[in-house]
Structure 1
Amino acid sequence: MNVTIETLLNHKSIRKFQERTLTKEQIETIVKSAQAASTSSFIQAYSIIGVKDKQKKEKLAELAGNQVYVAKNGHFFVFCADIHRHELISDMESKDLSGSLESMETFMVSLIDTALAAQNASVAAESMGLGVVYIGGIRNNLEEVCKLLKVPKKVIPLFGLAVGYPDQSPDVKPRLPLEHIYHEDSYHENNGVLKEQLLEYNEVISSYYEKRTNGKRKDTWTEQMAQMLSNQKRQYMKEFIQNKGFSKH
């Protein structure tokens, strides 16, 4: 096992950071690492907004559900799906690209490109001894986030990434068993086996929570997922995405 794999397998979300800001060099290294990620057909359909302004970070923390670590970290990155520059290409090359830019396929490409870039950024940060936590809560109110960050029409902030020097050291959270995730040659749809694996995983997760919280919590993974998915979230999203010029057909 090499250092890269050790870094990947030791990933944990950090929600408490030291009061130390990242240097310009660290920020640029993380962004360059993000840019080195694979990108579908070289389209590079994403942008990254670094938020340093204290008031903006505090507002983002509020919009994300009052998550303190959105405001208190070494640096806050917002990863955005972005086809605004491709609209400029349409003008520069005198070609109507709206059919492609407004398609579901391009929307999916922009999401995938953004996620790949963000994961590269996360691994780079962790390899530098920094901690990270993804923030999906910025999608709670994207209208306000877009106003705050002044993003143009064909740009959608997808999630944040808080990065900084860890001020805590939580245990690595156990993932689903490999055999539940990995299928060879075809999807193995044996629901009896899958449910058995989920029951075994429930025991692992329940023990993890019980140990982590000194007995205050011991819910299972399937209980947690059922509870979370029972409450539909962000029902405005489809209309918002289409109004931003994405996924119209």
Structure 2
Amino acid sequence: MALTATQQLQINHRSVRRFLDKPMEPGQLEALIRCGQSAATSSFIQAYSVIRVTSPEARRAIAVAAGGQVWIEKATEFLVFCADLRRINQVCEAVGKGGLEGYSEHGLAAVIDVALMGQNVILAAESQGLGGVFIGGIRNQPEVVVEQLELPHRVVPLFGMCLGWPDANTEVKPRMPVECILHQDRYQEMDPHSVAEYDETMSKYYASRGSNVKLTDWSNATAQAMQGKKREHMLDFLRSRGFFVC
């Protein structure tokens, strides 16, 4: 089956970290946010807020906290996507339903809302020739983000997003074969042969790409990422913000 233009755009997604010194057009960012708002949202609660960070000092502090990601400072736009239960709490109290108590279901709904919105935003940006990259590193020191952006209680920064006009042609990372992801009727255990083949594909990709060459494969890179980014502070941080208390 031939891919549609939208499907091809989705498959061509890549992370962009180098940007031209060129601003967006007037109203372009607002249009991207409107596209983000059109994503599915649990029970239409719309439990998200996006902070546009223009202060060089705030960008610098967040870049350092995120592990020295200099593209945060240099991107045309830097956005911080937040799970926002503060607005929901205010509504609940206003209509006499009482304040939120920190149930995990409410936190999950908000986190999913934000993720769906963020994906819509970056897809809309790429449809206009822009590029970007998600910044999960803001969770390294989330308190820094809270302080820099003056985020109130029940508002949690989940990830950042750099956006701008690409200054490099970044390669597309090969994804796992569909048969490794799509299961029929029941969960099927991972086929070691398929993983080995994918490791070989990724090893060749990492060794041959134009920048940030690595001598690794998917299995080793994934294990390193997961075991190296435990962020053990996150549960206490989330609970201190009114999320996942019960």
Q: How many residues align?
A: 244
- Which residue matches 1:236? 233
Name the structure with the higher helix share.
1
Q: Deviations over 1:25-73 (max 9, x none)?
A: 1100110000000001101111111112222212211111111111111
1:238 deviates by 0.5
- Structure 1 distance, partners of 2:139, 2:96, is 34
Q: Deviations over 1:128-182 (max 9, x none)?
A: 1000100001111111110100111000000001000000111110011110011
1:12 deviates by 0.5
5+ long unaligned stretches in structure 2:
none
- Partner of residue 84 from structure 2, selected from 66, 82, 85: 82
- Which residue matches 1:120? 120
- Which residue matches 1:168? 168
1:214 deviates by 8.5
- Which residue matches 1:28? 30
- Which residue matches 1:201? 198
How much is the aligned-residue C-alpha RMSD, in angstroms?
A: 1.6
- Which residue matches 1:67? 69
1:2 deviates by 2.1
Would you say the 8 A contact 2:47–2:84 is kept in 1? yes
| 1:10 and 2:7 correspond | no
**Matching of residues 204-215 of structure 1 within 5 Å:** 204-212=201-209
| 1:188 and 2:184 correspond | no
| 1:217 and 2:219 correspond | no
Percent identity (aligned): 39
- Structure 2 distance, partners of 1:217, 1:73, is 24
5+ long unaligned stretches in structure 1:
none
1:216 deviates by 5.4
Relative to the length of structure 2, the TM-score reads 0.95
1:228 deviates by 2.7
- Structure 1 distance, partners of 2:88, 2:172, is 40
Q: Which deviates the most, 159-168 or 50-59?
A: 50-59
Would you say the 8 A contact 1:13–1:132 is kept in 2? yes
Partner SS, residue 141 of structure 2: helix
Please tell me the residue identity of whatever aligns with 2:121.
A
Would you say the 8 A contact 1:82–1:110 is kept in 2? yes
Partner SS, residue 133 of structure 1: strand
- Structure 2 distance, partners of 1:215, 1:88, is 46
Would you say the 8 A contact 1:20–1:73 is kept in 2? no
Would you say the 8 A contact 1:21–1:73 is kept in 2? no
Relative to the length of structure 1, the TM-score reads 0.94
